[in-house]
């Protein structure tokens, strides 16, 4: 959903993007199930994109762009006080050039942060419990729960995709 939304937005300024066809493949990567740092998030997104490229190559297929998405937490200490944010990263490559884009960030409540980090539990399970719902991840995601659906998981990744696609739809600026 996020990928289609980002492509539709880019197509408003570059109509050739309207012809894009999406091919998705499940991949296995070495990133943790619940990334807790920007490094893990960015590495996971990049690894996903490259794994998709490899899977398609094994099927004797190729694409103009390969992309990977990764969501999780990022914590940072500012003047001795720790802040934990929900965020995501996207990596896009054409095989020669790669680009990252980040989602917006939203503060994670202490109770959720503690259940995930100290309890060593996946956010999807924890957010279902806090929302009193099932499979929140496939709908509005934790973003939707934390923002009262003003921003959904899909919208947050749509913005990250638009940012990561920038060198490919605006090549003059990135030459």
pLDDT digits (tens, 9 = 90+) for 46-105: 999 999 999 999 999 999 999 999 999 999 999 999 999 999 999 999 999 999 999 999
Residues 6+ apart with CB under 8 A from 74: 36, 37, 38, 41, 84, 85, 87, 105
Amino acid 1: pLDDT: 83
CB 71 within 8 A of CB 86: yes
Q: What is the pTM of this model?
A: 0.93
Amino acid 4: pLDDT: 95
Residues 6+ apart with CB under 8 A from 49: 66, 67, 68, 91, 92, 93, 98
Pick the CATH number of 2-105+148-169 from 3.90.950.10, 1.10.3720.10, 3.40.50.300, 3.40.50.80: 3.90.950.10
User: What is the rounded average pLDDT of the residues 112-133?
Assistant: 93
Amino acid 85: pLDDT: 98
Q: Please give the mean pLDDT across all residues of the chain.
A: 95
Amino acid 137: pLDDT: 84
């Amino acid at each position: 959903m996020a990928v289609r939304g980002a492509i539709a937005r880019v197509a408003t300024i570059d109509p050739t993007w309207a012809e894009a066809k999406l091919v998705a493949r499940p991949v296995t990567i070495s990133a943790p199930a619940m990334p807790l740092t920007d490094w893990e998030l960015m590495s996971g997104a990049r690894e996903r994109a490259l794994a998709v490229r490899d899977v398609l190559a094994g099927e004797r297929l190729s694409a103009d762009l390969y992309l990977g998405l990764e969501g999780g937490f990022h914590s940072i200490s500012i003047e001795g006080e720790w802040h934990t944010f929900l965020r995501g990263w996207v990596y896009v490559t054409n095989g020669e050039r790669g680009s990252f884009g980040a989602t917006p960030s939203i503060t994670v409540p202490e109770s959720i942060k503690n259940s995930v980090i100290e309890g060593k539990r996946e956010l999807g399970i924890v957010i279902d419990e806090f929302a009193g719902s099932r499979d929140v991840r496939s709908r509005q995601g934790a973003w939707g729960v934390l923002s009262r659906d003003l921003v959904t998981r899909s919208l947050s990744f749509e913005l990250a995709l638009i940012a990561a696609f920038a060198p490919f739809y605006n090549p003059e600026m990135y030459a």
